[in-house]
Amino acid sequence: MPHDFPAILGDVQDRLARQDFGDARIADYIPALATVPDDRFAMTLRLVDGREYAVGDADIPFSIQSISKVFALVLALRSCGDDLWQAVRREPSGSAFNSLIQIEQEDGIPRNPFINAGAIRVCDLIASRFANPDRSVAEFLGQLCGNREIRIDNEVYLSEDEHGNRNRAIAYLLKSFGKLDNPVEDVVRAYFKQCSVAMTCREMARAALFLANRGTGTDGEPVLSPLENARINALMLTCGMYDGVGDFAFSVGIPAKSGVGGGIIGIIPGEFSVCVWSPKLDQRGNSAAGITALEMLMGAIGRSVF
């Protein structure tokens, strides 16, 4: 039986407006993010048949932050193949996304590509293979969503650069283990710039559609093979929501990736991609309202990947 997605999304938005998310706070350790109104909300659903539904502030750009790590990983996988997995592992971390402890304990090989250490190593691989690594992820996202004007928010980038000493520490620690091929500052700059990409909820859902469509993008062109695509989805399911991934799998049950800008992308393979944006974060750095919205959506349609 077909779902009435406009009614479902409208109901999710109405129910969220009546909820109190308590201690949820906007990310303020990146000062440029602290200026975003914390009452923003958007949700966009993109079906594999091309239909699209949206509610809220779906056409207002936001900082995608760690959602970019999925697309950087795809670029690296396309250029490195399975050699990529010699550089980063595929296990959940169980630690904060910006932890240095595991790097020290595990000889400089990051636990997965979605914690900061893993994403910085992926950026390093991109820097070795792309002529313009500072813009490669932004350009790739522009191709995927059909908007070649996707941009890096320079204010956010400068804020990340000024306040990014912990990420520099991660990069220098990787370098000390011989696990970074390029100069630290070059890699960190590319990493800050990919995290500073600004996109709308609608664009983000379109960019992620290939993950729901066996590796085929909105333009009908292959992005990944079906097997590679399935592996990216597996990593999102097990590693995509920081150290809250177990609770998210339990309550929502789909591959997803979050960012501290308040965005989350999610996938039902063979059916749709979804992006939700609400800037206030829970204690693990995930959008509090975003998680609740996805839980409501999956409950309404009676679906998960399980």
pLDDT digits (tens, 9 = 90+) for 101-122: 889 888 999 999 999 999 999 9
Model confidence pLDDT, tens digit, residues 258-300: 999 999 999 999 999 999 999 999 999 999 999 999 999 999 9
- Classify the C-alpha dihedral 90-91-93-99 as positive or negative: negative
For the segment 59-73, the average pLDDT, to the nearest whole number, is 98
Phi-psi region at 94: left, alpha or beta (left = phi > 0; alpha = psi -120 to 50): left
Render the burial of 11-22: b for 16+ CB within 10 Å, e for the rest.
Answer: ebbeebeeeebe
Rg (CA), the chain: 18
Q: Specify the DSSP class assigned to residue 244.
A: G
Instruction: Give catalytic residue positions.
Output: 66, 69, 191, 242, 260
Q: How confident is the model at residue 98 (pLDDT cuts 50, 70, 90)?
A: confident
Instruction: Report helix, strand or coil for 123.
Output: helix
- Residue 34, burial from CB neighbour count under 10 angstroms (0-12, 13-18, 19+): middle
**Is the pLDDT reported for residue 87 higher than 70?**
yes
Q: Are 261 and 253 in contact (CB under 8 A)?
A: no
For the segment 238-260, the average pLDDT, to the nearest whole number, is 95
User: Which pLDDT score, from 0 to 100, does residue 1 have?
Assistant: 57
**Is the pLDDT reported for residue 95 higher than 80?**
no
**Is the pLDDT reported for residue 66 higher than 70?**
yes
The pTM score is 0.96
Q: Are 85 and 103 in contact (CB under 8 A)?
A: no
User: Which pLDDT score, from 0 to 100, does residue 96 have?
Assistant: 76
What's the distance, CA 269 to chain centroid? 17
Q: Are 209 and 50 in contact (CB under 8 A)?
A: no
User: Which pLDDT score, from 0 to 100, does residue 28 have?
Assistant: 84
Model confidence pLDDT, tens digit, residues 13-64: 999 988 888 889 998 888 899 999 999 999 999 999 999 999 999 999 999 9
